[in-house]
Amino acid sequence: MTSLQTILDDFEYMDDWEDRYRYLIEIGKALPEMPETEHTDANKVRGCASQVWLVAETEAGDPGDPVMIFRGDSDAHIVRGLVAIVLAATSGEKASAVENLDEAALLTRLGLGEHLSPQRANGLRSMVMRIKAHAAAARAAA
């Protein structure tokens, strides 16, 4: 999976929305495949126009602050790219950092905020809310 810093660096050099759009699709294609067995109703993110699936796991971290590991997928190319960006920002991070993710600032930094349709923006918010809920639950259980 592409690192968040690589994504940020690559987007910084792109002035044209079409280039960003194509790159978003590319990083979505590079997202590791999610097994079909995880494409379940329980893993589906509600509030997305496209189908989005999310799986959360934890690894040991600091006491009370486990490391979050996320896998995700979508049936839409652009949304899959957005999933890849959110996973790059959250997977492998401590739960406390995941809970504090400012997705609006991230999208602004990438120059994507103003180009997302309201449906995609709402779906992205739904996915981030679910990721943050997983992180909060993991910290509560730790």
65 is catalytic: no
Bridge partners of 54, per DSSP, are 72
* CB atoms near residue 112 (< 10 Å): 22
Burial class (CB in 10 A: 0-12, 13-18, 19+), 83: buried
Can you tell me the distance from the alpha carbon of 104 to that of 9, in angstroms, rounded to the nearest whole number? 18
Question: Can you tell me the distance from the alpha carbon of 44 to that of 106, in angstroms, rounded to the nearest whole number?
Answer: 23
DSSP state of 34: P
The residue from 24, 45, 48, 67 that is catalytic is 48
Q: Which two tokens stand for residue 30?
A: 């590079």
Residues in contact with 97: Cβ distance below 8 Å, sequence separation at least 6, in sequence order: 90
Instruction: Supply 115's token pair.
Output: 């180009």
Catalytic positions = 48
